Structure 1
Amino acid sequence: MFPSKTLLSVILIALSAVDASPVRRQAAPTTLSFTTRVNVRANTLSIVAADRARAQAMVHSNNTSKRAGSSSFSISNAITTYTAQVGVGSPATQYTLLIDTGSSNTWVGASTPYKHTSTSVDTGNSVSVYYGSGSFSGEEYTDTVTLVASQVQGFNNIDGILGVGPTDLTEGTVSNVGSVPTVTDNLYSKGTIGTEALGVYFVPGGGAGELTFGGSDSSKMTSSVNYVPLTTTSPASNYWGIDQSITYGNTTILSATAGIVDTGTTLILIATDAFRKYQTATGAVLDNTTGLLMITSAQYSNLQTLNFNIDGTNYGLTPNGQIWPRSRNTDIGGNSNSIYLIVNDIGSSSGSGLDFINGYSFLQRFYSVFDTTEHRVGLATTSSTTATSN
């Protein structure tokens, strides 16, 4: 555990500019840029092991663990992470926060100590969240600050987490309260944004991206946003869960079932039985070094579109969209000349209630919107949907 003074509930610069009596319908979305990076560390988990550990913890999550303040999947071991610079306090201190749609507490101070300002009011409540290999604990603050961590473990080169998952995931993390508002909750309640929604835009292959609080950025899309209701199937319903089926060419890989959309998962994970069908259909072999499926150049030339049917709309991953960026092969311990697939085994058979995760490898090809107000997830095509950058 590393001592620090830390906190939570950000976008203070945006909040400070808001009129005390805003008209919600006129509130403009707030955009926050972020950076995508690949964690290259000695003795780290493989990309598959990290994603699968996170997925299985989500599959086996339950209300008891949430009330105990435990979110048992790993964030700090994620291979692909997304960080944003966030100002907190008045005057503002800049913090580098990891963005995660699979958790909902926002806090700072893991590396840069939290600085108390005139906006800091201690409620006296304690907070504790466990992320698998990392954790934090500390005090709850109100006003422009929501949470402050005083004990931190397992987070390197970041100052904390920007949790943008459903509010229910905060249940049991703070003493004396049932749940705590997320950043998007706070922005909405302050009138900074007119709807409690978050748009996410990734650039394929890494680099910059954008979070849009309060809606979406149409300039990043090449289609309108198609919205689908959140699934009612547990445990997918605890997260940003949806229902979908998957086909490879004309072959059904996964029948209609529940899963989640998640920025904190790098790959696309599907149920074990679906994964085996996909492997057979593509002719891929398992690479023991990376844990990924590997194909030859000839097999790549014959790859079919992988279609995700969500509420009657197909979102097709082209052959290029199904492979790991070849320029980043060595980042995951692979051979620079090999071709690896980004679809992998979630670690359990279909019927678990969380049979797929559409992770970063899916989301870098489609614009996504996480809408708390209307209880839905939206997707749209972008100029990167059919890109050949991989």
Structure 2
Amino acid sequence: MVFSPFTLPALAFLSLSASASPRPRTTSSTASLKLAVRINSEGITNVVAADRARAQALLQGSSSSSIDATNAVRIYTTDVGVGSPPTNYTLLVDTGSSNTWIGGYKPYEKTTTSQDTGGQFSVAYRDSSHVSGEEYLDTVTLNSHLVIEKQSIGVVADYHGNHSLDGILGLGPVDLTQGTVSNAYEVPTVMDNLYAQNTIISEVLGVFFSPASSGDSSGELTFGGYDASKTTGPVSYVPITSTSPANKYWGFDQSISYGYTPILTKAPGIVDTGTNLILIATDAFDKYKSATGGTLDETTGLLKISPDQYDQLLSLYFTIGDGIYELTPNAQIWPRSLNSAIRGTGTTDGIYLVVSDIGNNSGSGLDVINGYCFLERFYSVLDKTNSQVGFATTEYTHATLN
């Protein structure tokens, strides 16, 4: 989470260009970018503590690039080219932050398209580590159909983090970049520039993740729209919430019921690819814990249930706008094939629930985080053009994988 070191007079605020060399608007409606999932081979002791720390950082509402890669069990990455000719960098995909930066593991290779803006960027994390360095403009190649000229990117000079990753691809709203670069009020995101340069016809991002426990452990981002071939039903939309701080992210209002029992009513939440679990307000979690009979596993921080309790588990229903999204019993449990990724579980066939405590009661302004375990069961559409978020079912919504 960023704690900006820069306090500049209003007259000194500059905006980095979002309209370099505009081209005629493409006739193609969308272009897709393939993702890969990585499992943290070193494991993590307490996945809930890691996710909850991120949640509390998001709740503070500061501008942010907020992934702590060292604490992620599952992370989705994509290879992005920078420069001309491009050097490929493996970047984390993050909808909870908006700055794009490189140089964490692989150093920045300057080419004829590299332009130093003269600005300094700085991003601080919840664990007191940070990234900082210079802000450049450069050609960024997501794939052959998604090439951005003069994209603003941070080039790190000081990095402490996951040494198999090169940086972050920020896909959150542009407001989250405010205060992160010394000579700019905010910096246009990848999505901003794709639209400004007429590469896509609308500022819409489709997000598809297949569960890591499935045979197809991959994902896909679709820029300019969504991929209907990945959905099994219509997309239902809901407006961006007006409640702060959820409204600074891809935030929306939702209600949750366990079976027929309401546990959370019209609460603001966000889509966040940087969170592994589904986090809900403490008062709602207490109701969920009581209803499921789960007991807290001190090592993992997850609720653990017996096979008999799993057989009695009811579906968890998320009401979002006019849509009702069913998280089946199988979708509520951590993939047993990935138990080894959580150090200290003690058993490979233990059953752990993926719904956990966000760390504050409802009414905080951020009561739900729909992380990977939700997003791997539903297709999501992040629509800046119409200030809305949409969801649809996929082939994995009711699949038995875990």
Q: Check whether TM > 0.5.
A: yes
TM-score for the superposition, normalised by structure 2? 0.87
Q: Secondary structure at the match of 1:31?
A: strand
Is 1:191 aligned to 2:198, yes or no?
yes
1:340 & 1:193 partners in 2: Cα distance?
41
8 A contact 1:285–1:294 mirrored in 2: yes
Q: 1:99 to 1:71 in 2, by over 3 A?
A: closer
Is 1:28 aligned to 2:29, yes or no?
yes
Shift of 1:284: 1.2
Shift of 1:369: 1.1
1:251 & 1:381 partners in 2: Cα distance?
23
Q: Aligned to 1:358, which of 355, 358, 370?
A: 370
Is 1:135 aligned to 2:130, yes or no?
yes
Matched pairs, number: 366
| 2:207 counterpart letter in structure 1 | V
Superimposed CA distance per residue, residues 311-360 of structure 1 (whole angstroms, 9 cap, x where no aligned partner): 13210001111111111112113221211110000011111110111110
Aligned match of 1:384:
396
| 2:51 counterpart letter in structure 1 | D
Aligned match of 2:245:
235
CA RMSD for the aligned pairs?
1.9
Q: Secondary structure at the match of 2:289?
A: helix
Shift of 1:20: 5.4
Q: Which runs of 5+ in 2 are unaligned?
A: 1-18, 140-150
Aligned match of 2:9:
none
Aligned match of 2:218:
208
Shift of 1:150: 2.4
8 A contact 2:73–2:341 mirrored in 1: no
Q: Which runs of 5+ in 1 are unaligned?
A: 1-14
Superimposed CA distance per residue, residues 20-67 of structure 1 (whole angstroms, 9 cap, x where no aligned partner): 53225x24322111111222326x451100000000111123xxx43x
Percent identity over the alignment is 57
Is 1:285 aligned to 2:279, yes or no?
no
2:134 & 2:188 partners in 1: Cα distance?
15
1:72 & 1:82 partners in 2: Cα distance?
15
1:87 & 1:37 partners in 2: Cα distance?
19
| 1:58 counterpart letter in structure 2 | L
Superimposed CA distance per residue, residues 214-261 of structure 1 (whole angstroms, 9 cap, x where no aligned partner): 111111110121111100101111111110000011111111111111
| 2:88 counterpart letter in structure 1 | Q
Is 1:60 aligned to 2:54, yes or no?
no
| 2:60 counterpart letter in structure 1 | H
Q: Superposition pairs for residues 254-265 of structure 1, below 5 Å? A: 254-265=264-275
Q: Aligned to 2:164, which of 157, 168, 173?
A: 157
TM-score for the superposition, normalised by structure 1? 0.90
Shift of 1:79: 2.2
| 1:30 counterpart letter in structure 2 | A
1:345 & 1:240 partners in 2: Cα distance?
20
